[in-house]
């Protein structure tokens, strides 16, 4: 599990991930894409959102928890 994702203590039924440190870095995630819209350049295909901020920041702001769906792209250094 990436170090930025910390399972909630005793919270097995909520599927959530507590926030700790910076949110997942979306550009390393398979669900991330660049929209080419200068107003909303960062997108997440999984959540169907486009934003000025990282999509993971939007998820944290909306849910109070970090995105549980970060999936690192293969082949990254």
The stretch among 1-9, 14-22, 39-47 that binds ligand SF4 (CB under 6 A) is: 39-47
Among the listed residues 5, 47, 53, 65, the single contact to ligand SF4 using CB under 6 A: 47
> In this complex, which beta carbon is closest to ligand SF4, that of residue 31 or of residue 65?
31
Provide the Cα torsion 40, 44, 63, 22; round to 10°: -80
How many residues bind ligand SF4 (CB under 6 A)? The answer is 14
Handedness of CA 71, 12, 21, 4 (dihedral sign): negative
Q: Smallest Cα–Cα separation from 14: which of 71, 64, 49, 70?
A: 64
Is residue 69 part of the contact set for ligand SF4 (CB under 6 A)?
Answer: yes
């Amino acid at each position: 599990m990436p170090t930025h994702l910390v399972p909630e203590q005793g919270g097995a039924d909520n599927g959530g991930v507590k926030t700790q440190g910076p949110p997942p870095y979306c550009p390393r995630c398979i669900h991330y894409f660049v929209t080419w819209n200068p107003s909303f350049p960062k997108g997440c295909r999984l959540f169907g959102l486009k934003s000025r901020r990282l999509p993971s920041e939007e998820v944290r702001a909306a849910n109070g928890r970090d995105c549980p769906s970060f999936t690192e792209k293969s082949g990254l250094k």
